[in-house]
Amino acid sequence: MSNLKPDVDIKNRGIKIFITCIATAMAPAILYPGVYFFFSTIQTPSGDFLTNLYHFTYSMNQAREESIFLGFFAFVVAFFHICLLGLPLFFLGLRLRMIRWWTIFIASFIVGSLPYTCLVILASDTIPQGHLGEILGITFSAFGLFGVSGGVVFWLLWRYWILEKSSNNLDEEN
pLDDT digits (tens, 9 = 90+) for 33-88: 888 777 766 655 555 665 656 566 666 677 777 778 888 988 999 999 999 999 99
Q: What letters, b where the CB count within 10 A reaches 16 and e where it falls short, cover 52-62?
A: eeebeeeeeee
The CA distances from residue 31 to 70, 147, 154, 171, in Å, are 10, 10, 15, 33
**Residue 137 · residue 110 · CB < 8 Å:** no
Distance CA 57, CA 69 (A): 19
Catalogue the long-range contacts made by 15-18 (C-beta closer than 8 Å, 24 or more residues apart).
16/157, 16/161, 16/162, 17/162
* Count of structural domains within the chain: 1
pLDDT tens for 117-133 read: 888 888 878 877 777 78
Q: How far apart are CA 147 and CA 106, in angstroms?
A: 9
Q: Which of 10-14, 35-39, 67-71, 93-97 has the lowest mean pLDDT?
A: 35-39
How distant, in Å, are the alpha carbons of 28, 145, 150 from that of 87?
Answer: 17, 18, 13
Q: Confirm if 39 and 5 have CB atoms less than 8 A apart.
A: no
Q: Residue 11: helix, strand or coil by DSSP?
A: helix
Helix pair 5-40, 49-81: axis angle to 10 deg: 160
Say what the pTM is: 0.73
Domain span at residue 55 reads 5-173
